[in-house]
Structure 1
């Protein structure tokens, strides 16, 4: 029977069984430990040593057994064979819980003590040479067993720690992925809803500033408002759907091929847009979606900050894809802005491997994005 290595504590029944087993072995060793069997004073000595060694086993079952107890048991083993079971257990416990040098010293002391005991209480029928060889082999085995158990316990502890760290890293990666997904969804909501709601604001502003318009024109404008509000709700459902499924499993995402429809939508809201499409081919994928979002954000900002002014949109294809939106600066339509649209757009363009420039130039606001063609396009 053996106990766990350092840092571990065996259940109480195991510890109690360990002490009891060594006590029984010590008692059985008294009549058979030497030849002839002890009698008189030697028997008393053996019985006392059996009791003392069994009692000394109790500290050995601690998580980190004291070396002095193992040394004391080795000394008792030089006096009586009744201490041999406890001394053997002490050598093993020290080998399992202490450095190799300390364990080797305790094992060497135990082997020497057994050799000393043979000198004055020999075992009948077993020459000293064989006795010494058996003692040395036994203590070397105890030392090796303890060292192996200690290294195995250290390996298991290391594996548990690595597993704990891997689990913590996995949780951290999951949290980062969730944060990135929330940021992506927020960017999508801004790009989609800002476009729709700016159209609503533009149409509502036209009705507000032309209260004398004919009922037919007001009814038509109201229809446009209803149409854009309905489209905004549909876009909101589409974006929220990202939370429930993989985006690739949902509706098709807009690409550069959908920019003409976007421009037509804006023109229907009363915005003058000059559109030049020299792209030649739809890059598709994330690059095409980025082209669409750049145009969408540029038109949204133009309606917010230069309402009623003409907007020029130009798509150019060459060594790279160039998206340019230009509009004169002027009074806005009163639509509130978060100030993060261009920041999010810059991040989107950067993720696509491109670059984004924007700012006023000669009384006009210019937004330019340059994107690389996707591989194979």
Structure 2
């Protein structure tokens, strides 16, 4: 069990205080002073223990939070590798598959080997990402969607691009897809912030990557548009893959099929969901009539932080103060309840009120004394009382002092009258 450095000097300090308390009680010859000083010393030592435990919890919480932050950073790097390298490997596999179909003999065999190696590289990449997956990726190296589409076309993909982000257009992308034409052009749109452009680039890239892996040879339509929303301009990116297999179907067959569907485990879409949500947008994925549609709507001027993790860095344990309260709440409540219960028992029917104490005097008739004193004697005595007078019986009562309700006065009587009244607070302890 770990201990905090505070305890290294707290324990010796407590022993020194204890010695001082005993010395003070010896010098003052007062049991009540000893009890009060002992309660104060124990309270102070308990506070030191609580402080040490709090510092331990705070240190552990800080270490766990730093570890969570580093893990989130590693996962961000993994998502970046998934987005960039995975896209490139998928294009290589598709190009090798096309070359295998068109070539003959040794060239076709070599192209097949290249495609198989690319597929294995993609699978290994996904396994690696699965180990480190968790948060949104950092920024891609470019937001040029036209160049992204052009590279996919050169790799053999059947991709069409409709609209752009710099003019207001018709957001009815279904109509644009059906007509295979540009959305209706409008006036120039407001400036689309770089984070929104980069997120749109990531959406298009993910859609093209999934189409190349799961539905090679299908027609892919990319529709971009900007509209005026209730809270400002909104950009929409839609990637529709016609002839795509349903999400639960096995990978498309054929020489250029790529890795089996589902090998990714959804890491790319999960990261994309968080990336879009961090900018205040929404990402929808649906599969209708053999058409897989990926749609993102993002504010043109997002208020989120695209560079940070969209998942808060959290640790499994509670915050240190909350954890300390949880750990000490039950013991403290039990201790306080026990002290209150003992004081209630010790002071019940044993406490003499101040006006009663002033009436205790030598010579007070025994009948009057019996009418004044409580029913019970105080169960706790911290002082050594002197020998009782001959023929007298002594009884001790408390003034209700907390927390012990120790006896504070002793009254002796011989059956006829009070023979002695002793203030026990002034009597020696030994």
CA distance 1:261–1:351, shift in 2 (3 Å): same
- Cα deviation for residue 90 of structure 1 reads 7.2
| 1: CA distance, partners of 2:101 / 2:275 | 36
Which residue, 164, 183, 193 being the options, matches 2:75?
183
Which residue, 327, 335, 360 being the options, matches 2:258?
335
The runs of 5 or more residues in structure 1 that have no matched partner are: 19-59, 62-84, 93-106, 113-138
Is residue 317 of structure 1 aligned with residue 226 of structure 2? yes
| 2: CA distance, partners of 1:309 / 1:345 | 22
Which aligned pairs between 1:119-268 and structure 2 lie closer than 5 A?
149-212=41-104, 253-254=140-141, 257-268=143-154
Task: Specify the alignment match of 2:201 in structure 1.
Answer: 292
CA distance 1:168–1:376, shift in 2 (3 Å): closer
| 2: CA distance, partners of 1:9 / 1:306 | 71
CA distance 1:334–1:111, shift in 2 (3 Å): same
Task: Specify the alignment match of 2:272 in structure 1.
Answer: 345
Contact map agreement 2:94 2:155 (CA 8 A) in 1: yes
- Cα deviation for residue 180 of structure 1 reads 1.9
Task: Specify the alignment match of 1:274 in structure 2.
Answer: 160
Contact map agreement 1:326 1:364 (CA 8 A) in 2: yes
TM-score normalised to the size of structure 1?
A: 0.52
- Cα deviation for residue 354 of structure 1 reads 2.1
Task: Specify the alignment match of 1:91 in structure 2.
Answer: 25
- Cα deviation for residue 148 of structure 1 reads 5.3
| 1: CA distance, partners of 2:257 / 2:302 | 42
Contact map agreement 2:10 2:45 (CA 8 A) in 1: no
Q: Specify which structure has the higher proportion of helix.
A: 1
| 2: CA distance, partners of 1:305 / 1:376 | 34
| 2: CA distance, partners of 1:328 / 1:90 | 92
- Cα deviation for residue 312 of structure 1 reads 0.9
- Structure with higher Rg: it is 1
The runs of 5 or more residues in structure 2 that have no matched partner are: 1-6, 167-190, 245-251, 305-430
Which aligned pairs between 1:2-21 and structure 2 lie closer than 5 A?
10=12
The aligned length equals: 238
Contact map agreement 2:193 2:302 (CA 8 A) in 1: no
- Cα deviation for residue 274 of structure 1 reads 0.9
CA distance 1:194–1:111, shift in 2 (3 Å): closer
| 2: CA distance, partners of 1:180 / 1:294 | 21
Quick one: higher RCO (CA 8 Å, sep 6+), 1 or 2? 2
User: SS state of the match for residue 278, structure 1?
Assistant: coil
Which residue, 252, 263, 287 being the options, matches 1:360?
287
Q: Specify which structure has the higher proportion of strand.
A: 2
1:88-141: CA deviation from partner (whole Å, max 9, x where unpaired): 52738xxxxxxxxxxxxxx99x338xxxxxxxxxxxxxxxxxxxxxxxxxx85x
Task: Specify the alignment match of 2:361 in structure 1.
Answer: none
RMSD: 4.5
User: SS state of the match for residue 334, structure 1?
Assistant: coil
TM-score normalised to the size of structure 2?
A: 0.46
Contact map agreement 1:359 1:365 (CA 8 A) in 2: yes
- Cα deviation for residue 300 of structure 1 reads 0.6
| 2: CA distance, partners of 1:88 / 1:157 | 22
Structure 1, 148-157 or 191-200: larger mean CA deviation: 148-157
- Cα deviation for residue 367 of structure 1 reads 0.9
1:327-366: CA deviation from partner (whole Å, max 9, x where unpaired): 2125453211323232332233233332222222233211
| 1: CA distance, partners of 2:240 / 2:298 | 18
